[in-house]
Amino acid sequence: MGRGTIGCTVRFDTDAIRAAAADLSDRVRDHRRAIHRHPELGFAEHRTAAYVESVLAELGLPSRRVVGTGVVAVVRGDGPGCVGVRADLDALPVTEAPGRDGYRSQVEGVAHACGHDGHTAMVLGLAELLVRADRLPGTVALYFQPAEEGPGGAAPMVAAGVLDDPAPSAVLGVHVSPRQPTGVVALRPGPSTGSDDAFFIDVIGKGGHAAHPDSAIDPIPIAAQVVTALQQVLTREVDPVRPAVFTLGVIRGGTRHNVIAPSVRLEGTLRTVSQADRERLVRRVAEVARGTAATHRAVAEVEHRRGYPVGVNDPDLTALVTEAARAVLGDRRVVALPDPSLGGEDFYAFGDTGLPVTMFTLGVADPAAGRAAPLHSPDFDLDEAALPAGVAVFGEAVRRVLVASTVGT
């Protein structure tokens, strides 16, 4: 087979999966660095997708393109089950901090600051592990999706039919985390990431002279009331044990200290971990903005852009992945993730179809080596020593889902 592959057949049991993942560590690191050096933004992951295709081709795996830069490959085994594994390809418009000898971003202003290079490298490692398996007890579909950082590539891939043939019974994902020690896996059943809706609100009054507010409709104090009214909706209308947040990232209006502005623009994001809260708050944000503006003779024009769904990890599937992680990593390197995050995650578009999905987080922090910066920071870097753990967890979880499918028929 291809250059530099591990080259030998491996048994497909827990011990062999753990050993094969360790054997693949150099390969996975090389994939990560190759991708890291050439980061690309959402739906422009041309070089990254071509790299993925070339690695899959080396392994003898046919792949196909979907939605431009998405790549799907299928590893066919012997058994009725099918499970999906997802990675994301895109980087961020971030200028990487100095350092990273040998793998620094070659693209000014773009960097893999969210660790998606690591995700793709791990799933390529998994592909190699699966190809080497002496008897794979079912089929594994690998989804390399574009544009996780927005506008989202998972929903378009689902709409393009990637879950139709072969049809997986579950989809697995991973995200690296600099908040966990390296190689430690954390999981959480149930709500895990936030819905992520954007709002663009124009409070439209009537411009005029600063000395004559009575002949104008000043949108600035009205916008200020909209801001506080929206905060009040969040604190008074949502069960306080369920997190929800409405953050306004933009407030813009006016041109001069002595001129009443004609309008004020507010831009914000609404995050919840409950679909019911989300639907209600989407309605209430618009109602409250319009109502507050109307009370003061202004008009609020509200545009809502629907973003990622609430991320819910299927409890049974999460339990299976937890056991798989314990089997390959040991109990001490598997922990419960205590709280959901209000960060949005496109992966859950695969679960929006009703399919059980779960995403585990893989610790990549190595503070002693200076690797502890948060995701999306110019300083973010991941500890590559963690990557084989992710490959092993994927391998063992895939095995367990496929074996369970065999037993279930």
Active site residues: 308, 384
Name the token pair of 350.
């695969």
User: Which of residues 114 and 185 has its CB atom nearest to Zn ion in the complex?
Assistant: 114
Q: Which of residues 95-114 bind Zn ion (CB under 5 A)?
A: 114
3-state SS, residue 407:
helix
User: Which of residues 85 and 136 has its CB atom nearest to Zn ion in the complex?
Assistant: 85
Window 112-131: contact mask with Zn ion (x via CB under 5 A): --x-----------------
CA distance 175 to 185: 10
Per-position DSSP letters for 3-68, written without gaps between them = TT---S-B--SHHHHHHHHHHTHHHHHHHHHHHHHS---TT--HHHHHHHHHHHHHTT--EEEETT
- Is residue 282 close enough to count as binding Zn ion by CB under 5 A? no
CB of 32 to Zn ion, least distance (A): 14
CB of 85 to Zn ion, least distance (A): 16
What amino acid is encoded at 243 in this protein? P
CB of 171 to Zn ion, least distance (A): 16
- Is residue 93 reached through a cis peptide bond, with omega within 30 degrees of 0 on the bond before it? no
User: Which of residues 86 and 290 has its CB atom nearest to Zn ion in the complex?
Assistant: 86
User: Which of residues 114 and 203 has its CB atom nearest to Zn ion in the complex?
Assistant: 114
CB of 274 to Zn ion, least distance (A): 22
Q: For residue 217, which of 293, 297, 289, 302 has the smallest C-alpha distance?
A: 297
Q: Which of residues 25-64 bind Zn ion (CB under 5 A)?
A: none
CB of 376 to Zn ion, least distance (A): 6
Q: What is the bridge-based pairing of β-strands 171-181 and 357-365? A: parallel
CA distance 292 to 400: 55
3-state SS, residue 316:
helix
Buried b (16+ CB within 10 A) or exposed e, 128-141: bbbbbbeebbbbbb
User: Which of residues 81 and 311 has its CB atom nearest to Zn ion in the complex?
Assistant: 311
Say if CB 345 and CB 175 are below 8 A apart. Answer: yes
User: How many C-beta atoms lie closer than 10 Å to residue 13's C-beta?
Assistant: 12
The DSSP bridge partners found for residue 10 are 133
CB of 88 to Zn ion, least distance (A): 6
User: Which of residues 21 and 114 has its CB atom nearest to Zn ion in the complex?
Assistant: 114
Per-position DSSP letters for 354-395, written without gaps between them = T--EEEEEEEEEBGGGTB-PPTTSTT----GGGHHHHHHHHH
User: Which of residues 59 and 114 has its CB atom nearest to Zn ion in the complex?
Assistant: 114
- Is residue 270 within a helix (H) or strand (E), and if so which, with residue range? strand 263-272
User: Which of residues 56 and 114 has its CB atom nearest to Zn ion in the complex?
Assistant: 114
CA-CA-CA-CA torsion sign (101, 105, 109, 112): negative
Say if CB 192 and CB 375 are below 8 A apart. Answer: no
CB of 116 to Zn ion, least distance (A): 6
* Residues counted in the chain: 409
Q: What is the bridge-based pairing of β-strands 263-272 and 244-253? A: antiparallel
CB of 225 to Zn ion, least distance (A): 33
CA distance 111 to 92: 5
Counting residues that bind Zn ion (by CB under 5 A) gives 1
Q: Which residues bind Zn ion (CB under 5 A)?
A: 114
